Amino acid sequence: MNYKVKAPVKAAEKFNEWRYGMFIHYGLYSIIGRGEWVMCKERIPIEEYSRLAEQFKPGKNCVKEWIALAKRSGMKYACLTARHHDGFCLFDTAVTNYNSVKTAAGRDLVLEYVDACREAGLGIGIYYSVGSWEEPGFIAGPADAELWAQFVAKDHAQLKELMSNYGRIDYLFYDGCPPPATWDAAGINAEIRRLQPDILISERCGTEEDVASSEGHCGAHPGKLWESCYTLNDTWGYNRFDRNWKTSEGVIRLLTSLTHNGGNLLLNVGPAPDGTVQPEASAVLEQVGEWLKINGEAVYGTEPHPFNYIDQEISTGKGNFIYITLHGDFGPERVICGIGNKVRSVKLLNSGKMIAFRQQHDKILLDGLEHKHPEELPRVIRLDIEEAPQGIPNPVWRPERFRVC
């Protein structure tokens, strides 16, 4: 692995090993149930919106249940919205009383979250929105130098609290960031690294850090650690009207596509006001978790596109093993091309069955692959090859000669 990071190499290797994590959007907006941007989109005055803090009463064990679900689902890390754009904090902060400790909940949810992650052995990510709709300085903007300075000082203080009061934090996910020079992103990030020497920091802050990010698309970032965040339906925060759930097969397609391109999938859930995850979401995640119990070796800690895309497959690699995810119904006529190595064996991971094959130059013809059952999730085959992967280009396909319309 040769990624450019500021964090220690071991931290980067750990992120690469994880591949799959749970994003959790939870806050006052969950009470309204129309998504996390409801305060802004519906122009709810802060005086009205802030009263939701007296109704915010998460279920007793909801945080532990989130992390238990993530663990069952095969996720290796999590990321919780410690503060979203509405400015309400899920942690104990001296900067403001607008937080879950000093209002009706009476609980430090970030503390519960980091404890649950450590108990489950999951990596700990913290989401923090720099911008805040309830902060006068942020609303006024840099033109009001005095108010803006107060806003920046509050943000820096809260980031230091998060990095000082909760033990080791593996990953800081920024959002809602103004131009980096206006809030001294470089300065606070240097302080964060002093407090958390092993932390990975998101480049969403606008400065060159450790982890590049795509949101809702599979855009890769070659040469960088990167992840793409998606939500399980169409909304990040709880939306009681949004039933457009991804299927387990759809999530697997996302995960394997991202892994094929060298990225992680950070998949979001938006718990209901009491902190429960909707059963439709839990069911999908747990089905993917069962799939990963069998096929996880094709995901965790793998290297991307071992044949440099020449094989035109969804493929990953680990040493002399090549993993190819078969999306769709591919039966005994399946052919894999572009393999410049001698193949020693082909194995179907879900059954452990060795698949008969014939190798003709760069072509692998699978003779013993049965048709996929309609209820089956995507299958993965493992090729055991000799020597380092080497792709053989297709003589009729030269991408640079085709104009994409």
Q: Could you tell me if residue 393 is inside a domain?
A: no
Q: Could you tell me if residue 396 is inside a domain?
A: no
Q: At 58, which CATH number?
A: 3.20.20.80
Q: Could you tell me if residue 22 is inside a domain?
A: yes
pLDDT at 242: 96
352 Cβ contact partners less than 8 Å away, ≥ 6 residues apart: none
In terms of domains, do 83 and 171 share one?
yes
Q: In the listed set 283, 298, 313, which residue is the last one of a domain according to the structure?
A: 298
Query: SS3 for 34?
Result: strand
Domain total in the chain: 2
Q: At 342, which CATH number?
A: 2.60.40.1180
Q: Which tokens in the block code for residue 155?
A: 């943000």
In terms of domains, do 148 and 58 share one?
yes
Query: Contact at 8 Å (CB) between 27 and 88?
Result: yes
In terms of domains, do 200 and 310 share one?
no
CB count, 10 Å around CB of 72?
16
pLDDT at 382: 98
pLDDT tens digits, 331-340: 788 999 999 9
In terms of domains, do 248 and 330 share one?
no
Q: Could you tell me if residue 399 is inside a domain?
A: no
Query: What residues of the chain score a pLDDT lower than 70?
Result: 1, 398-405
Cα separation, 160 vs 354, in Å, equals 54
pLDDT at 216: 86
Length of the chain equals 405
CA dihedral 104, 116, 6, 226 (to 10 degrees): -90
In terms of domains, do 117 and 146 share one?
yes
pLDDT at 257: 96
Name the residue range of residue 59's domain: 9-298
3-state secondary structure 118-151: HHHCCEEEEEEECCCCCCHHHHHCCCCHHHHHHH
- What's the gap between Cα 276 and its chain centre? 20
In terms of domains, do 37 and 177 share one?
yes
pLDDT at 364: 96
pTM exceeds 0.85: yes
pLDDT at 35: 97
